[in-house]
A and B are shown apart, each in its own frame.
Chain A
Amino acid sequence: MKISILGAGPGGYVSAIRAAQFGAAVTVIESDEVGGTCLNWGCIPTKVFTASSELIAKTKILSDYGIEFHHDISVNLAKIIERKNRIVRTQVKGIRNLLKSWGISLIKGRGTITSPREITVLSGSGDSKKISSDNIIIATGSKPFELPGYPFNGKTILSSNDALELTEVPKQLVIIGGGIIGCEFASIYRELGAEVTIIELLPEIITTEDESISIQLQKEFKKRKITVYTSTKVETAAVTQSGLSLFLSNGKEITTEKILVAVGRSLNSTDIGLKDAGIKTGQQNEIIVDEFLETACPGIFAVGDVTGGIMLAHAASREGIIAAQNIFGADEAIDYAAVPNVIFTMPEIASVGMSEKKALESGLNVTTGFFQFRALGKAHVIGEIEGFVKIVAEKKTDRILGMHIIGAHASDLIHEGALAITNNLTIKQIAETIHAHPTLSESIREASEDIFGRAIHKPKIQ
C-alpha cells in the first residue's frame, strides 16, 4: 500500500510513522521544516521562552529562599532565541531520523492534489514531480490569522511567529486577542520586562476555559501588572515616531512600540487542490471529514488544524494515528471528550472535559468540587501558592465530567483528569486513591472530596 501525506507537522509525521509501522510505503511532502507549527513556531519555541521567563520570576525571589545573589539580572533575547533554535534543530533532526528509520521518504516542496490518487509536488527550484498513492492524508495545518487593516510586517505589527524572532524586548507590547496564544505571550513578555496590554473583544479572556479559570487568570495578570481590556477593540491605529498610537473602543488611547496580533489561525486549505478532488470544505475553509477522518473523496483523509476541530498538536497526532489505522480498515473514531488542553501562562492552566457551564448547557445535573493550592504544604514549599483545582461531576452518577486547574504544574497534573474521564471514573474513585504527600496532586483528591463537603484541609463552612 502506498500512502502520501501532505504536511509533516504533529498530524502528518505521526500518521506517517503509524502507516509505515503497518507496512505502507509512505511519502511525506513538506514545504517547510518537519515538526510543523508545533515544533518550529508554536508549542516548543514558546515553551523555551516560558522557561526563561519562569527563571526570571524565580530569581526575583531568591532571597526569600535564603539565597543571596548580588548581581543584576538582564535579559539577552538573542541568547534565548539561540537556545530555542538549538532545541528546535535537535527535535527536527530527531523527527527526520525517525522518518528515515521507518523508511519514509520526505520530499521538500509544495504539494497539490491533482487527482484523487496523485499529488504534484513543486520544489523551491521550480521542478515538479508527480507522486501516486492509494491513499492520501492531508495535514497541512494553519497559520497566524491576519487582522484586516493590520498586515504583519515583522517590525511593529507582529504575528506569533514574529514574536519568537525579536532581537530586543519591546518597551511596550499590545496584544490583540486574549486567547491562548495572546495570554501565553503576555506572560512571556511581561516577565522579560515589557509593559503588556491585552485587548480582547469578548467579555473575558481565554473563553475556551471554565469561567472560574478565566476570572482567576485575569486576577493573576493584574498582580503581574499586565493590563487587560475586555469587551474592547482597537478602533484606529496611527504610526508615530515611537511606534504606534491606538485608539480603543473604551475611549482609551495607548502608545506602544509593537502590536502582536493573536486573533486566531487561518487554515492552510486553499491552493492544495481540494475542489478538483471533490473534497468538501466548510465556512472557515476547514476540510469536512466524517467520524473516521475521511473526506468527501474516498481514500483521502484529513487530520489536525486543517479540519477546523481542536487546534492542538496532541489532538492532531491522535487523529494522525487514527487516520492511518482507518486506512488499514480499523474503522475507529476519536473520543474528543477527554482531550486535555494546556496553557503555559504564568501560572499554568490545564483542563480536560466539560466546563461547568457546558455541562449545565448539556442538561446534566452538575455538582462541583474546589480546592486551593494554598491549603497544601507543597505549594508553600515551592513558593507557588496561587491556583486551584475545580472538578465538575454528574450529581446522579458521580462521574467526572471535567477537571480545571490553574497553578504550578497544572499541565502535568491534568492527566489524572484525562485518565478519569477517558475511563468514566467517579469522584469517589479519585477520592479513594491514595495521593502521595507532599505533592500538588493532593489538591485533586481534596477537590473530589470537596464535592461531598469532606475535603480535609478546608475549614468547615459556618
Chain B
Amino acid sequence: MHPEDLKYHREHMWTKVSGNKAKIGITDYAQDSLGDIVYIDLPEIDLDVEANSEFGEIESTKSTSSLIAPVSGRVIKVNEALSESPEIINEDPYGKGWIAVLEIEDNLDLDDLMDYSEYTKYVEEETG
C-alpha cells in the first residue's frame, strides 16, 4: 500500500477505506519511534471500536503504548500473523503489518483525518 493513498490519525495510525471496510495499522513514524515491537494485543473479532479511543496495546522493547482507533467500526478481521511475529509491523507497517479490518458505516466522515502531506507536516512539527 502506498502511504500517499492512506488517511492518518494524530495518534500515528493509518487507515485505508474501501467501501464499508477500513483497514488500519500504525504509521512508519510510530514503528520507528517505538523500536523493536515484541507484542501486540490484538482486538477481538466483533469488538465495537470508537474513533479516538483505545482498542489494543502494542509493546516494544522500549515502551508500551495504546492503540487508538482512527475510525469507528466493528472489528471483522485481525492480522493473526502478528501474534507470532509482531516484528512484521517494523518491517512493513503499511503492508504485511496491518493490524485489523473494521466494518464501518457507509459514507463515514473522514474529515478529522489527515492526508499524507498533512501527516508528514504534523510529524515534522511534533519532532521539531
In the complex, what's the smallest C-beta–C-beta distance from B80 to chain A, in angstroms?
A: 13
| B64 contacts A372, C-beta separation under 8 Å | yes
Out of A219, A375, A380, which one reaches B57, CB within 8 Å? A219
Could you mark each residue 367-382 of chain A with 1 if its beta carbon is under 8 Å from any beta carbon of chain B, else 0? 0000010110000100
Q: B38 — which chain A residues lie within 8 A by C-beta?
A: 385
Chain B facing A: main interface SS: strand
Q: A380 — which chain B residues lie within 8 A by C-beta?
A: 61
Task: Give Cα distance in the complex from A219 to B57, angstroms.
Answer: 10
Q: Across the two chains, which residue of chain B brings its CB closest to A380? A: B61
| B62 contacts A375, C-beta separation under 8 Å | yes
Is A222 part of the binding interface, using a Cβ–Cβ cutoff of 8 Å? yes
| A372 contacts B63, C-beta separation under 8 Å | yes
Within B7-51, the residues touching A (CB, 8 Å) are 38-39, 41
Is A223 part of the binding interface, using a Cβ–Cβ cutoff of 8 Å? yes
Within A370-417, the residues touching B (CB, 8 Å) are 372, 374-375, 380, 385-386
Task: Give Cα distance in the complex from A374 to B63, angstroms.
Answer: 7
Question: Count of A-B contacts with CB under 8 A?
Answer: 17
In the complex, what's the smallest C-beta–C-beta distance from B75 to chain A, in angstroms?
A: 16
In the complex, what's the smallest C-beta–C-beta distance from B42 to chain A, in angstroms?
A: 10
- What count of chain B residues pass the 8 Å CB interface test? 10
Out of B41, B57, B61, B126, which one reaches A385, CB within 8 Å? B61
Q: Across the two chains, which residue of chain B brings its CB closest to A225? A: B83
Q: A374 — which chain B residues lie within 8 A by C-beta?
A: 61-64
Task: Give Cα distance in the complex from A251 to B61, angstroms.
Answer: 38
Q: B62 — which chain A residues lie within 8 A by C-beta?
A: 374-375
Could you mark each residue 432-462 of chain A with 1 if its beta carbon is under 8 Å from any beta carbon of chain B, else 0? 0000000000000000000000000000001
Q: A219 — which chain B residues lie within 8 A by C-beta?
A: 41, 57
Q: B61 — which chain A residues lie within 8 A by C-beta?
A: 374, 380, 385
Task: Give Cα distance in the complex from A112 to B41, angstroms.
Answer: 55
Within A169-203, the residues touching B (CB, 8 Å) are none
Task: Give Cα distance in the complex from A386 to B63, angstroms.
Answer: 10
Q: Across the two chains, which residue of chain B brings its CB closest to A219? A: B41
Task: Give Cα distance in the complex from A385 to B60, angstroms.
Answer: 10
Task: Give Cα distance in the complex from A223 to B59, angstroms.
Answer: 11
Of listed A374, A375, A385, residue having the most chain B CB within 10 A: A374
Could you mark each residue 56-85 of chain B with 1 if its beta carbon is under 8 Å from any beta carbon of chain A, else 0? 010101111000000000000000000000
Task: Give Cα distance in the complex from A462 to B10, angstroms.
Answer: 14
| A222 contacts B63, C-beta separation under 8 Å | no
Task: Give Cα distance in the complex from A222 to B59, angstroms.
Answer: 13
Q: A386 — which chain B residues lie within 8 A by C-beta?
A: 59
Task: Give Cα distance in the complex from A372 to B65, angstroms.
Answer: 12
Task: Give Cα distance in the complex from A9 to B64, angstroms.
Answer: 43
In the complex, what's the smallest C-beta–C-beta distance from B86 to chain A, in angstroms?
A: 10
| B64 contacts A222, C-beta separation under 8 Å | no
| B39 contacts A223, C-beta separation under 8 Å | yes
Q: Across the two chains, which residue of chain A brings its CB closest to B62? A: A374
Task: Give Cα distance in the complex from A375 to B64, angstroms.
Answer: 11
In the complex, what's the smallest C-beta–C-beta distance from B41 to chain A, in angstroms?
A: 6
Task: Give Cα distance in the complex from A65 to B36, angstroms.
Answer: 17
Q: B39 — which chain A residues lie within 8 A by C-beta?
A: 223
Q: A372 — which chain B residues lie within 8 A by C-beta?
A: 63-64
Task: Give Cα distance in the complex from A462 to B125, angstroms.
Answer: 12
Q: Across the two chains, which residue of chain B brings its CB closest to A388? A: B64
Q: A385 — which chain B residues lie within 8 A by C-beta?
A: 38, 61
Task: Give Cα distance in the complex from A420 to B78, angstroms.
Answer: 46
In the complex, what's the smallest C-beta–C-beta distance from A219 to chain B, in angstroms?
A: 6
Within A218-247, the residues touching B (CB, 8 Å) are 219, 222-223
In the complex, what's the smallest C-beta–C-beta distance from A93 to chain B, in angstroms?
A: 45
Out of A222, A375, A462, which one reaches B41, CB within 8 Å? A222
Task: Give Cα distance in the complex from A374 to B57, angstroms.
Answer: 16
Q: B63 — which chain A residues lie within 8 A by C-beta?
A: 372, 374-375
Q: A462 — which chain B residues lie within 8 A by C-beta?
A: 126
In the complex, what's the smallest C-beta–C-beta distance from A347 to chain B, in angstroms?
A: 13
Q: B64 — which chain A residues lie within 8 A by C-beta?
A: 372, 374
Q: A223 — which chain B residues lie within 8 A by C-beta?
A: 39
Q: List 9 A-B contacts (CB under 8 A).
A: A222-B41, A372-B63, A374-B61, A374-B62, A374-B63, A374-B64, A375-B63, A385-B38, A385-B61
4 closest cross-chain pairs (CB), A and B: A223-B39, A385-B61, A374-B61, A374-B62
